[in-house]
Structure formats: structure tokens, C-alpha cells
Amino acid sequence: MSVTAEIPVGSRVRHRLMGPGDVLATRYRGYEYWVQFKAVKAWVRGGELIWDPPAVGKVDPSRLGRPASRSMPVDSDGALRNSIPRAVRKIEAGHAERAVIESFRLGTVPDAYVEQWTEGRDDELAHLRHWLSDQADGSLLIEGAYGSGKSHLLQTLRARALSEGWAVSYSHLDAGEESAAFSKRLYRQIARGLDVPGIGKLEHALLAAVDASTENPAPDHPILGNVLDRIRRGTMRPDDWEAVLGTGEATAVTGFLPDFTTSANVYCNLLSGLGYVMTEVLGKRGMLILVDEVETASACLYRFHFTRAQSFFRGLTLTASDDPALLDETIEKGKNSYVGATTGLIYAGHRKIPYLYRIPSGLKVVLATTPGPMRGQYKEWRSEQSVLEIDTLRPRALRTLMERLNQTYGALHGVSFPELTVTALTAKLLDRFGGLATRRVIKAFVECLDFRRFNPGQPLKDIL
């Protein structure tokens, strides 16, 4: 008869497609059963099984493919542990779990759940939380090898900062666009990626700033002053908005916004003005700028492009650190450009505005890069520069992550690996892809689960 009551462990059952089998375990109050069929073990919904109650009895160990006398491995507390996945916590499959699995299939984590899916980074996260709350430290360099998890940490920091009331922008450098050498291109990414909690994007924040003020909140800012005035009067045109967002040409409202390698001062000034608006007008804790893959700045067409990119990063970190020299330093004509007499920073000859609008700027900046010359440059730029070095994720932490992923997948699709298989498979994937390819290991693990789900009778070696 079909199942209407919970089947005891050890019962003999039959499945329409996979034939007879023995029940080894149950979960979700009898909704699913771990069944040993002739050639495969699988989680099966109880409604798919046919069970004859009188057949209840102990399973003959010889039918499970192992000697009856073979001892089972035990945990450190001496409790019996078999090779069936154990539920560390009950997982209720829903939208969040489905979103996580689909994202892991692509090797990423959804922004909304990135903190919950961070393993083995307690020290690094504590460091980031402390830095975020330190008003005196405006810039941070995260340094780690490719695949070590820098991008994941940035996304984790982004999620926490948003929850704590920071306006946050995440962007990454594109070597093809040389977005570090040409400051306007990186500004465009920062403006496009800005997210202001409770308000929305950059254009929404500027509108909200005008609504929150009885007068122009930044009348003396060389760019935003006129923009905010036009917003108040309702005379902003589409091309004016495109100029503010960095996606269009400059207009009479914004003034000259050059796309030159010497224009770092213009865009640092604009960003520091936005930081002031976020904190002093909109009441946010600050404006956090996250820039990933900074090392690609060295992939420039010309050597002087890299020099200009370094000047932009230096100017941005000094701006976020409220360096008072940026407010009133003398600008001199150098050999190939205008430079600051105190800082040596490059200025746009057509618009010699300061890097910093006001103190405090309201900005915090995090740059993520691989080990290389950038760190030495940072130490030259700012002797007290904070640097967070990260190593690759430890195998034990990755194993814990794989077990959680395995359980979540099982809750969604009724298919998961035995505990020992998770350990062996994690080690196999690490051996194949290397310890620096955490993202590829996770992606491959989900693909193995997909393979088992759709090919229950085939061994994993067919895909590995």
C-alpha cells in the first residue's frame, strides 16, 4: 500500500522507478526517506513509496554493501555517526535557500544573504567592523591572492554597512576601460553603483537632499551647488542628470567634467561633496566606496596612465582621510601637468578645484588588490595606511560551507550526499582546482549535486 504513516527505519519498501529498497533514515517528520536501492542510495518522498507494514524488520547489513562486522566512524563525543547526511539544523526550504543555490551555481552569493553564508572569516569580519566604526580611519587596503575571497569580503562589508545606515557603492576596475587612469570612468561606476538606504540611487538622494533642506545644502560646492539649486527650481534636464551621473557630457549646470587622466581632483571633490550631503543633509553614517580588482590599474596602454591612476587612488584615500593639506595647497605648473605643492597630486589644468570639499568628508574608501607594488605605494602615500591581509579559506571552513550547501540542496530537491562523501568530494575539488579557487570549488560542488539529482544511478566519477 502507499505510505500514509511514517515508515520505521529498516522497513522494506518499493519505488515505482527504482524498485525495492530498505529505509535507512527519515527526515522532515517522515516527509522524505533515505533509501538503499539496488544500485543507489537516495532521498525519496514518502508519497512515492509503497510499504507493507508487516515487512518491518532490521536491515541485513550485507544488503547495504558492507560487512556486518564493520565498525562505523564516531564523532569526538563517541556518538555513532553513519554515512547518511546529518541535519545540524532543520532547514525550511524557501525562496532564500533557492536563491542561494542558484547563485552558488554561478559561483556567487546573493547580496541579501552574503553574511549568513560567510564561513571561516571571523577575524577578518571583526577587523572590518572595527574599521567601519572608526571615524578617524578613512581608507583601507584589502590584500589577498586571486580567489582568496576579497570580493566576498567586500560584499559582506557592503551588506553590513547598508544595514547600519551607510550609503554604499561597490565597483570594480575594468582593465579594458582603464577606469583608474581616467577618473571620470571610475566615478561613473561609483555613481551608478551607489545605494542609499531608505532612499535609492544617487539621483534619488539628491532629490531627497533638496526636500530635506529649506535652502541649498551645499551652495559653495563647485559642482553640486548649481545642481542642487537647479533641482530646487525644477529646471534639471535629462542631459544634466546624465552629466551628474557621469554617463553624459558636461552641461552648463555641472560645469566642466573632463575625461582626462589629470582630472582626479574634480571627481574626488565631487565625491567628497556627495559624502557631505549623505552625512550632514540626509543623516546617513557616511558614504562607503568599495573598489575591487585595483591591481588591474597596472594594465594601461601607456606608463603615464598608471602614474595617473596611482595619483587618483592616492587622492581618493587622502580625501577620505580628511587630509587638511587638500583644502588649500598651492597648485604649481609641473613638467607635464599641474601638481599640488604639498601633496604632489595631479590637478586638472582646466579646473583647479581642491580634492577635498569639507572636513569631515563623510567618505570611507576600501580598495581590494592582489599582493604587489600597490601596497608599497600606499605606505609611501600614507604611513598609517590600514592594510588587511587575507589568506585563502581554510579547508575546514570550506568543508563546513559545503555541508551547509549540501543540506540546503537536500531540503530543496530531496537529494544530498552522505557526510563522508561531502568530505571526500571537497578534498577532491580542492585538489583539482587548488586552494585559490574557492569560487570554482563551490560551483563544482553544486554541479555534482545536480549530477546526482538528475543521474541517480551513475557514480560521481563520471563527472569528475
Q: What percent of the chain has pLDDT over 70?
A: 82
Average pLDDT for 330-357: 92
Average pLDDT for 398-422: 91
The per-residue pLDDT for 385 is 75
The per-residue pLDDT for 315 is 92
Query: How many domains does the chain divide into?
Result: 3
Say yes or no: 275 and 202 in one domain: yes
pLDDT tops 70 at residue 12: yes
* Whole-number Å distance between alpha carbons of 253 and 229: 9
Grid cell listed for 337: 601637468
Which residue, of 389, 410, 431, is where some domain finishes? 389
C-alpha pair distances (Å), 210 with each of 122, 183, 441: 41, 27, 48
Note whether residue 199 is domain-resident: yes
The per-residue pLDDT for 86 is 40
- Computed over every residue of the chain, the mean pLDDT equals 83
Which residue, of 357, 389, 421, is where some domain finishes? 389
CA angle (342, 325, 317) in 5-degree steps: 100
Average pLDDT for 247-251: 93
pLDDT tops 60 at residue 78: no
Beta-bridge partner residues of 82: none
pLDDT tops 60 at residue 367: yes
pLDDT tops 80 at residue 255: yes
81-134, pLDDT tens digit by residue?
333 344 444 556 678 888 888 888 877 777 778 888 888 888 888 889 999 998
172-209, pLDDT tens digit by residue?
887 666 566 789 999 999 999 999 999 999 999 999 99
Say yes or no: 60 and 145 in one domain: no
Say yes or no: 383 and 408 in one domain: no
Say yes or no: 308 and 443 in one domain: no
Note whether residue 70 is domain-resident: no
Of 79-88, 159-168, 385-394, which has the strongest mean pLDDT?
159-168
The per-residue pLDDT for 150 is 87
Q: What percent of the chain has pLDDT over 90?
A: 46
Say yes or no: 334 and 413 in one domain: no
The per-residue pLDDT for 176 is 63
Note whether residue 77 is domain-resident: no
The per-residue pLDDT for 76 is 35
The per-residue pLDDT for 73 is 35
The per-residue pLDDT for 373 is 62
Say yes or no: 32 and 13 in one domain: yes
Grid cell listed for 281: 543633509
Say yes or no: 397 and 368 in one domain: no
End-to-end CA distance of the chain: 39
pLDDT tops 60 at residue 400: yes
Note whether residue 127 is domain-resident: yes
- For residues 212 and 282, the answer to whether their CB atoms sit within 8 Å is yes
The per-residue pLDDT for 75 is 33
Which residue, of 356, 389, 422, is where some domain finishes? 389
Task: Report the b/e string of 209-223 with b at 16+ CB within 10 A.
Answer: bbeebeebbbeebbb
When pLDDT is cut at 50, 70 and 90, the band that residue 330 belongs to is: very high
Say yes or no: 157 and 299 in one domain: yes
When pLDDT is cut at 50, 70 and 90, the band that residue 261 belongs to is: confident
Note whether residue 345 is domain-resident: yes
Note whether residue 73 is domain-resident: no
- For residues 229 and 220, the answer to whether their CB atoms sit within 8 Å is no
Its domain, for residue 429, covers 95-105+393-464
Say yes or no: 53 and 174 in one domain: no
Say yes or no: 321 and 221 in one domain: yes
265-287, pLDDT tens digit by residue?
999 999 999 999 999 999 999 99
CATH label of the domain that carries residue 22: 2.30.30.390
When pLDDT is cut at 50, 70 and 90, the band that residue 32 belongs to is: confident
> Could you tell me which residue, 417 or 149, shows the higher pLDDT?
417
When pLDDT is cut at 50, 70 and 90, the band that residue 308 belongs to is: confident
Say yes or no: 224 and 162 in one domain: yes
Note whether residue 31 is domain-resident: yes
The per-residue pLDDT for 220 is 96
The per-residue pLDDT for 299 is 61
Residue 44 burial (10 A CB sphere; 0-12, 13-18, 19+): buried
- For residues 82 and 72, the answer to whether their CB atoms sit within 8 Å is yes
Say yes or no: 101 and 129 in one domain: no
Note whether residue 76 is domain-resident: no
